[in-house]
Amino acid sequence: MTAAQLGRHAALVENLHGRGLLDEIWRTVWDAVPRAPFIPRLAWRQTQTACEPLTTEADRLALIHSDEPVVIQLDDGKPDGPGIATSSNSQPSMVARMLRLLCIEDGHRVLEIGTASGYVAALLSHRLGDSAVYSVEIDEGLAHHAAAVLRARGYQPNLACSDGEWGWPGQAPFDRIIATCALRTVPHALVQQLHPGGILVAPLARDFWSGAVVQLTADGSGTAAGRFQGGASYIPMRSHRPPAPKPVDTTTCRTTTAAVDPREMLNLGFALYAGARLPRMRMVHADQADGAQVWLQDEDGCAATAVTGEDAYEYGVRSLWQEVERVHEEYVALGSPEARDFGLTVTARGQQVWLHHPERIIEPDQTLMG
């Protein structure tokens, strides 16, 4: 790398340190591991509507040295696809947050789910040593790229091309596990591969969530529990991609008064609560000039939409907008708890979202589910 590139990398690290995202140990690690060598020549910038190719070296380096993600694969690497991002080098500040939540100490063995570019594996290898780092990647092309660039940079962590859903049972147990792809649910296999007291940090993406980071601690009996630690936006694990919903029957369209501004539903605390109360309901939103639009849909094709200042529209046999408004009333009555007031418990029987403490489980409301 040129002196100018190293300077821009140093500025990025200083920015992360100044924001309190890197302690002195991690700051030294990040200083020693520039991001640029891990980004393939073919890369894209993610916008709200599409992935734009980085056509000049100046654009490529500007994005690499910013606090933004860099898309490194479209359409699982297949040609002539729709141009959907399927792998990325994550936003540096998000990587720093996730590594901080791991609470790594000298001597720990760490499993990474989703090698992708190899950058996080390099950071972990520099921090702990190659032999303590294990990383799995399902995509053969990405796994080959990561292995080559890691080797070229002098790192030799333990790498495997396999489905991260199953972890790396032959090398378990681990002190720490980090997922760098979004999970719909935490695979119990990963909990089983943690030492008692071991920590798992992962981004989750459910139907109602735009994304949330969870930090779980294993108790040694097959259970792990912990709190949500803020929002996150990660590309889904391949086996955890959401199924496509059924088409909406637009002939059943009807209006209903929107008593709640859609903007009030766009905080993570409400999303965590509503996602537990109304499982299998999907929510997406779009910002408007003076408000927001929300779109709700269930897996059977019922739907609803509302825009700030206007009536809501509902489709199908369920009244989804009225259901979500009633759940919002419950949420407000609880004091509108923050995202970190919620937690998750994972066992062999499944997983449950809770509020304030693990005994206060948020159960699905069958009366609202049609």
Contacts of 24 (CB under 8 A, 6+ apart): none
Using CA of residue 4, residue 8, residue 9, residue 13, what is the dihedral sign?
positive
Question: Residue 331: phi, psi to the nearest 5?
Answer: -60, -45
Nearest to 266 by CA among 245, 241, 287: 287
Amino acid at 265: M
Which of helix, strand or coil describes residue 35?
coil
- Contacts for 56 with CB less than 8 Å, ≥ 6 apart: none
90 tagged catalytic: yes
| Residues ≥6 apart with Cβ < 8 Å to 287 | none
Contact 113, 122 (CB under 8 A): no
Side chain identity, residue 326:
R
Q: Which residues of 288-325 are buried (b: 16+ CB within 10 A; e: fewer)?
A: eeeebbbbbbbeebbbbbbbbeeebbbbbebbbbbbbb
Based on its alpha-carbon atoms, the radius of gyration of the chain, rounded to whole angstroms, reads 21
Strands of the sheet with 350-355, listed across from one edge: 158-161, 133-137, 110-113, 174-179, 194-204, 212-218, 224-231, 342-347, 350-355
Q: What is the full DSSP assignment across 235-276?
A: PBPGGGPPPPPPPP-GGG-EEE---S-GGGG-SHHHHHHHHH
From 66, 87, 88, 90, the catalytic residue: 90
**Residue 313, SS3 per DSSP:** strand
DSSP 135: E
Please state, as a whole number, how many other Cβ atoms lie within 10 Å of the Cβ of residue 364. Answer: 13
Q: Strand pairing partners for 176? A: 110, 199
Residues with a catalytic annotation lie at: 90
